[in-house]
């Protein structure tokens, strides 16, 4: 009996799964919560919003916490406004999928009182005409369950008419959604066979995720910022058995020594996590992408301040989400020394590397920072590393597989950059597939590499854990198994006999994985 109990406890530990409660709870998806999560990029008006002055970090009159947004108009336009958009400067379809949102909430006040402001939301489906007072007031807007919110470009619209010369403040702008409570967060795959996913059209998710998981044999999706993620996307990833590295974009041009900014960013990170977690598709959180590389001011003091903020966030995240792994996407090993000194609470060293990938691997192995290494971007040679116009897809494919082979045995794996073609610094050709979904050689070579199964991974989830061990016991007992079970990975010593040696191998592997 004790052995059975031990096996059950180990099963729970290694799958990293807890039972969902099934209760419904309301969660807040913030558009602005001291930090402008979604872009205030849609300036409009008689002369395209030229009369508007926007300050997103006013700290004299916040409704709550650290900052509020201040909008001032000069009165030189007959009308003007700003749209908080789902993507920067995106006016045309497709938009992002906000299915499941049930209400809008925001707080607003005028500088003097009497200011007339029009508020709209969800592609202007809803409108409120407000006359402001000089005191903060909360407003809400119920959203109809019959409305199609699957392609939204304009989330929150502010319109000022009649050539008003006014100033007013906004804070705590969020949508509310009802979601099923869960306590599920999955553990990392034994090796990340990842894709940097950059498609913004939610109608593409189903077909793309099926191709990524079933044809390419990838197991993980990597994203870059909060705008890339929606509840629909996470649910679709889970449906297709794809893990997700959740992103939180950290700003570049920030003074990270500023205590107000540090407080605001911490609050924003946890508001983001409270909305999306727990979710069984999510395995890790990446806090920022290439911030050290682009930081301004680029002083040693600011770099250290950013590193210590990362560490404080990681420590706090571990308290609330013990199973969630934390990382940051560095440019190669550039910030390795400062992260070694200042981020003991970060779980993984994440980096982006291309032509210098093997050098990064070898130098990291000999470094003193003994966190597991994961490549959040890898691929062919970059446009800065060779002449791209003469770089064929066949040559690029060779470099993708070369770099995968250099990282696969010494690291946690990596995410190939990038799913569909994108243009960067005037150069196109990054895509693993074409925009019309025809395959490039890059897809084929990665499919072959990613398709090699892990020895002992009987249930094909890219993890060797107590699930495989229990399946092994069932095999020995003669039980019938589902078609998803891959017994070829179970014959450890290739003697065509599934027996005690295989069971012992799996058990030892599971015990080693505890460490």
Residue found under tokens 């691929």? 379
What's the topology of domain 197-450? Answer: TIM Barrel (3.20.20)
**Amino acid 100: pLDDT:** 93
pLDDT, tens digit only, all 515 positions of the chain? 444 444 444 444 444 434 344 578 899 999 999 999 999 999 999 999 999 999 999 988 888 889 999 999 999 999 999 999 999 999 998 999 999 999 999 999 999 999 999 999 999 999 999 999 999 999 999 999 899 999 999 999 999 999 999 999 999 999 999 887 666 677 888 899 999 999 989 999 999 999 999 999 999 999 999 999 999 999 999 999 999 999 999 999 999 999 999 999 999 999 999 999 999 999 999 999 999 999 999 999 999 999 999 999 999 999 999 999 999 999 999 999 999 999 999 999 999 999 999 999 999 999 999 899 999 999 999 999 999 999 999 999 999 999 999 999 899 999 999 999 988 888 888 999 999 999 999 999 999 999 987 666 666 677 766 676 677 667 666 665 555 566 566 666 666 666 666 666 666 666 566 54
CATH number assigned to the domain with residue range 30-179, chosen from the 4 options 3.40.50.300, 3.40.1260.20, 2.60.40.10, 2.60.120.430: 2.60.120.430
**Amino acid 501: pLDDT:** 65
What whole-number distance in Å separates Cα of residue 429 and Cα of residue 421? 6
- The DSSP H or E segment spanning 121 is strand 116-121
> What is the DSSP code string of 468-509?
HHHHHHHHHHT----TT--GGGT-TTSSS--SHHHHHHHHHH
Which residues have CB under 8 Å from 420's CB, separation 6+?
Answer: 198, 199, 431, 432, 433, 434, 435
Of 132, 140, 144, residue with least CA distance to 105:
140
- The DSSP H or E segment spanning 330 is strand 325-331
Q: At what angle do helices 300-320 and 259-276 cross, to 10 degrees?
A: 30
CATH number assigned to the domain with residue range 2-17+456-514, chosen from the 4 options 1.10.1330, 2.50.20, 1.10.3470, 1.10.530: 1.10.1330
**Amino acid 469: pLDDT:** 66
How would you write 247-285 as a 3-class SS string?
Answer: EECCCCCCCCCCHHHHHHHHHHHHHHHHHHCCCCCEEEE
How would you write 396-413 as a 3-class SS string?
Answer: HHHHHHHHHHHHCCCCCE
What whole-number distance in Å separates Cα of residue 190 and Cα of residue 459? 13
What whole-number distance in Å separates Cα of residue 191 and Cα of residue 410? 10
What whole-number distance in Å separates Cα of residue 342 and Cα of residue 368? 13
Output the CA–CA distances (angstroms, integers) from residue 437 to 53, 54, 95, 174, 442, in the order listed. 43, 40, 20, 35, 13
* Contact between 161 and 74 (Cβ < 8 Å): no
* Contact between 140 and 105 (Cβ < 8 Å): yes
Q: Break the chain into its structural domains and give their ranges.
A: 2-17+456-514, 30-179, 197-450
């Amino acid at each position: 009996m004790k052995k059975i109990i031990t096996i059950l406890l180990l099963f729970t530990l290694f799958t990293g799964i807890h039972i969902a409660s099934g209760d419904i709870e309301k969660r807040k998806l913030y558009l602005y919560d001291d930090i402008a999560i979604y872009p205030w990029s849609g300036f409009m008006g008689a002369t395209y919003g030229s009369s508007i002055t926007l300050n997103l970090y006013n700290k004299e009159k916040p409704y709550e916490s650290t900052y509020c947004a201040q909008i001032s108009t000069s009165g030189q336009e007959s009308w003007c406004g700003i749209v908080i958009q789902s993507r920067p400067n995106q006016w045309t379809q497709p938009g992002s999928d906000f299915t499941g949102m049930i209400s809008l909430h925001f707080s607003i006040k005028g500088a003097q009182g009497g200011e007339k402001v029009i508020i709209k939301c969800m592609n202007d489906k809803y409108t409120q005409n407000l006359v402001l007072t000089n005191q903060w007031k909360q407003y809400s807007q119920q959203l109809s369950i019959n409305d199609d919110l699957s392609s939204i470009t304009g989330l929150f619209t502010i319109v000022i008419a009649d050539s008003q010369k006014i100033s007013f403040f906004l804070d705590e702008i969020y949508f509310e959604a009802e979601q099923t409570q869960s306590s599920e967060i999955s553990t990392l795959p034994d090796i990340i066979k990842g894709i940097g996913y950059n498609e913004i059209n939610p109608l593409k998710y189903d077909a793309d995720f099926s191709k990524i998981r079933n044809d390419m044999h990838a197991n993980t999706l990597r994203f870059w910022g909060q705008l890339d993620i929606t509840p629909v996307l996470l649910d679709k990833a889970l449906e297709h058995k794809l893990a997700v590295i959740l992103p939180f974009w950290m700003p570049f041009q920030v003074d990270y020594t500023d205590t107000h900014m540090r407080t605001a960013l911490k609050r924003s990170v946890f508001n983001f996590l409270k909305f999306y977690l727990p979710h069984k598709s999510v395995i890790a959180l990446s806090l920022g992408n290439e911030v050290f590389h682009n930081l301004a001011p680029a002083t040693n003091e600011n770099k250290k301040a950013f590193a210590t903020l990362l560490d404080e966030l990681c420590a706090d995240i571990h308290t609330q989400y013990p199973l969630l792994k934390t990382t940051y996407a560095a440019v190669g090993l550039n910030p390795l020394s400062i992260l070694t000194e200042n981020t003991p609470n970060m779980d993984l060293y994440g980096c982006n590397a291309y032509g210098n990938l093997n050098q990064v691997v070898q130098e990291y192995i000999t470094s003193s920072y003994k966190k597991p290494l994961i490549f959040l971007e890898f691929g062919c040679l970059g446009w800065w590393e060779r002449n791209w116009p003469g770089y064929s897809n066949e040559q690029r494919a060779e470099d993708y597989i070369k770099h995968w082979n250099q990282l696969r045995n010494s690291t946690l794996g990596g995410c190939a950059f990038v799913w569909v073609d994108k243009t960067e610094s005037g150069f196109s050709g990054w895509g693993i597939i074409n925009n019309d979904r025809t395959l490039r050689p890059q897809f084929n070579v990665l499919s072959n590499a990613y398709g090699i199964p892990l020895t002992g991974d009987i249930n094909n989830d890219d993890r060797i854990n107590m699930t495989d061990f229990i399946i092994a016991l069932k095999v020995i007992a003669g039980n019938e198994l589902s078609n998803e079970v891959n017994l070829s990975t179970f014959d450890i010593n290739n003697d065509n006999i599934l027996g005690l040696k295989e069971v012992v191998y799996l058990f030892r592997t599971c015990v080693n994985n505890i460490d």
